Structure 1
Amino acid sequence: MGGSRLDLLKNFPYRRLNALLEGLEPSHDPLFLQIGEPQDAVPDLVLPTVNAHAGLFGKYPPPNGAPDYNEAVARWIEGRYGLGAGSIDPVTQVTALCGTREGLFQAALMAVMRKRERMRDPGVAPAVLVPNPMYHVYFGGAVVGDAEAVLLNATAQNGFLPDYAGLPESVLDRTAICYLCTPGNPTGAVASRDAVRDLLALARRHDFVLAVDECYSEIWFDTPPAGGFDAVHDLGGTDNLLVFNSLSKRSGSPGLRCGFVAGDPALMEPLMLLRSYGGAQVPGALMAAGTALWRDEEHAEANRRRYLNLVEIADHHLAGIPGYRKPEAGFFLWIDVSAQFGDGEAAAKQLWAKAGVKILPGRYMARPDPVTDTSPGDPYIRIALVHDPETVGKAMTRIGAVLRGA
């Protein structure tokens, strides 16, 4: 990765989208489907719980999360993944995060330092394995950690799941951390239980951290998707595993910034140490609300039904359009528009100008090949189904008309 490393961080999706659409006027009232921010009201229990604990705003939160919050997370993990009661220690295996972004980023820094200490050749850069397309925080962690980001394309040909096991042994041996996002952002693909288990086994053989980003794990339509703790159930122990999740999507509460990381105590300890220098903590009153949300499944089930309805609305309007496929889970549509427009950037401009709908070109969720300047995201657009059913129906009607008429 030549040039200024800071320059590599400037390639942020929404900045690029604003530049792409500059000067174009939408022909309809604008609808914004480019950001995966839930738009529904927060669950009813949030505000009363925050108000009841408002006095905690006058105190520093515990550095690793409130005991009640971590306890609620540990018990939720056990119930969600069929682990025995008491399998997860809330003191050594769970810590609260401000969402998951900071934890995913800091995990790369910790893992790269850990790998450097264990490698025999200090002149060889540790590797960070990143799916392409991706949530950009993964790539940012590699850049800031002064590691080599090894990008593995997630395409229709491999079911939108990168083949980490196919990498050369020499790369796997110097790998510090591997990111797996399932259900995937932006693709909506779900890794099988066997795939997660095999990847954790690979991490243990080559002594790298498997970071499983499960932010969309509770937005599913048929059966709950597998996760990192299913692999724990199958293989035993949490060695080499860190799992990340939050209430932003499960509970439609992105502003709470309540997330967690859980897993291997031998990894949690240095990660908590790193966070004590540069990590923010969730205010106590918000953690109290987060505790109540992790302990309540009723609102999460209602939230899941809501997203199923939105996906069915999209499917009703877009089924049969070349390049469209229904997501396996999550709330993103990942549509191949190359047949109609050539690439996602051209589609984004047309959808904004002709339909007044702002979406994200798939290229902006990926990193291009430095030689060909092409990426696996180029043919795609990402659409976030996060609004009320009426708005989503209106948007899908407009999008369908443009895609069919292109």
Structure 2
Amino acid sequence: MNPLLSRLQPYPFERLRELFSPITPNPAYRAISLGIGEPKHAAPELVKQALTAALGTGLSGYPATTGTPALRQACANWLQRRYGVEVDPSTQVLSVNGTREALFAFAQTVIDPTREGATVVCPNPFYQIYEGAALLAGATPYYAPSNPARNFAVDWDSVPPEVWQRTQLLYVCSPGNPTGAVMPLDEWRKLFALSDRYGFVIASDECYSEIYFRDEPPLGGLEAAIQLGRTGFERLVAFTSLSKRSNVPGLRSGFVAGDAAILQQFLLYRTYHGSAMSPVVQTASIAAWNDEQHVIDNRAQYRAKFAQVTPLLASVMDVALPDAGFYLWAAVPHRWNGSDTDFARELLAQYNVTVLPGSYLAREAQGFNPGQGRIRMALVAETAECLEAAQRIVQFIQSNP
């Protein structure tokens, strides 16, 4: 067996099942889960119609790994509308089976494990695929902590020069999971300068970019590059998906765009990896990328939901509206002495609501775990269910002074 498999950590939801295994939830309440970030809003009718229409002809041939020209053009058109960024769809866009698959495969493409001390830098807390991708590529993860004093922006300045010297790949996530923080242009300027100096590649995970609560949409990596005069997107690849934007996580559809030379090598890897997207899914994806009204409607649902739930929870715990995304990143009240696991366990037992301990989304590094003492709540269900969960959490905290 591949010895690198032994370096993988249990996934947060495996740890959650173990944490909850001895608990019998209060039967007086129906189960409500805020634990998993799986979109629950209805899938757009136009996507379902496109899927149905494509079934007649879309299963009779092998798909190209690149994606059809029509799909790549639809993705390029969306980048132009959303960010004002122009890309060549034939060389700077590739279809992928969701960002999770692509973020993992990307590390296997760009990491050279024969170079001494191969390192992948990622935020902390983070999406665990970053860590697993690094480990299975033969690299060592380095965890850059988020700073609560800066709206949970990542403290890139805390990464020592000797770590940057060994770094081959940097994962960034903006809007962030779980904090919802959005990287401003000055932060991108800093990372581009570091990339120029040390030669590492930047993978920009932007799958939450279309769910935001400010008037201005989140800045994207390619957009930042253009604003800073980096028209060739040197050592930069952006990853995005339809899962959150269009409420179709089961479609497993997204795309990557950026540095053409890197994408050429990524395509080579993916050709052997068997990563081609079904023609049926490609047809439905074109319909989704070409339509913006369902995205606007979806964003309005999240804004209305967060406007009701956030103040309710803020009355009893330290939590605020994020920049973007569909998570609330809340501090555990003092009564639990910073134990996010105790809070989650007792909440389930007393009120049958599931939340995810923040420490499960982070690693202890530089002497502390930046997720410790926080919980992540995914407000992905309909508003009424999320409100009921919030009301139970309020009751739970008030009944445990």
1:68 corresponds to which of 70, 83, 88: 70
The verdict on how the C-alpha distance between 1:335 and 1:266 changes in structure 2, with shifts beyond 3 A counting, is same
Report Cα offsets for 1:160-201 as digits up to 9, x if no partner: 222224433322122111111011101111111221233123
Give the Cα separation in 2 of the matches to 1:332 and 1:215: 13
Aligned counterpart, 1:206: 198
Cα distance in structure 2, aligned partners of 1:341 and 1:361: 13
Provide Cα deviations, 1:219-249, integer angstroms capped at 9, x if missing partner.
Answer: 0111201110122222222111000000000
Tell me the amino acid that sits aligned with residue 184 of structure 1: G
For residue 40 of structure 2, what is the aligned residue in structure 1?
39
Contact 1:196 1:226 in 2 (8 A): no
C-alpha contact 1:313 1:392 (8 A) present in aligned 2: no
- 1:48 CA drift (Å): 1.2
* CA deviation string 1:125-173 (max 9, x = no partner): 2110011110000001110011111111113034322222443332212
What value does the CA root-mean-square deviation take over the aligned residues? Answer: 1.6
Please report how far the alpha carbon of residue 334 of structure 1 lies from its aligned counterpart in structure 2 after TM superposition. Answer: 0.6
Question: Retained in 1: the 8 A contact 2:144–2:158?
Answer: no
Q: How does 1:344-363 map to 2 (within 5 A)?
A: 344-363=340-359
Give the whole-Å Cα distance in 2 for the aligned partners of 1:70 and 1:330. 25
2:83 corresponding residue in structure 1: 81
Q: Which residue of 2 aligns with 1:341?
A: 336
- TM-score of the two chains, using structure 1 as the length reference: 0.92
Give yes or no for contact 2:123–2:172 (8 Å, CA) kept in 1.
yes
Partner of 1:40: helix, strand, or coil? Answer: coil
Q: Is the 8 A contact 2:147 2:155 kept in 1?
A: no
Aligned residue for 1:119?
none
Aligned with 2:243 (options 222, 235, 248): 248
Question: For residues 394-405 of structure 1, what are the structure 2 equivalents within 5 Å?
Answer: 394-405=388-399
1:193·1:227 contact (CA, 8 Å) conserved in 2? Answer: no
Q: Which amino acid aligns with 1:20?
A: L
2:295 maps to which of 281, 300, 315: 300
Query: In the alignment, what sits opposite 2:282?
Result: 287
In structure 2, the gaps of 5 or more residues are none
Query: Contact 2:144/2:159 (CA < 8 Å) preserved in 1?
Result: no
Stretches of 4+ aligned residues off by more than 6 angstroms: none
**What CA distance in whole angstroms lies between the structure 1 residues aligned with 2:59 and 2:398?**
53
Give 5+ residue unaligned stretches, structure 1: 117-121
Q: Distance in 1 between matches of 2:307 and 2:129?
A: 30
Distance 1:348 1:210, change over 3 A: same
- Deviations 1:225-278, CA, capped at 9 Å, x for gaps: 111012222222211100000000011111111111110001101111111122
**Cα distance in structure 2, aligned partners of 1:320 and 1:332:** 17
Identity %: 38
State the alpha-carbon separation in 2 of the partners of residues 399 and 206 from structure 1.
Answer: 47
Structure 2 residue corresponding to 1:139, chosen from 122, 131, 135: 131
- C-alpha distance in 1 between matches for 2:118 and 2:303: 41
TM-score normalised by length of structure 2: 0.94
Q: How many residues align?
A: 391
The farther-off stretch of 197-206 and 68-77 is 197-206
Quick one: structure 1 residues 33 and 99, their matched pair in 2 at CA, closer, same or farther if it must change by over 3 Å? Answer: same
Distance 2:303 2:15 in 1: 30
- Seen in structure 2, the aligned counterparts of structure 1 residues 47 and 322 have a Cα distance that, compared at 3 Å, is closer
Amino acid at match of 1:40: H
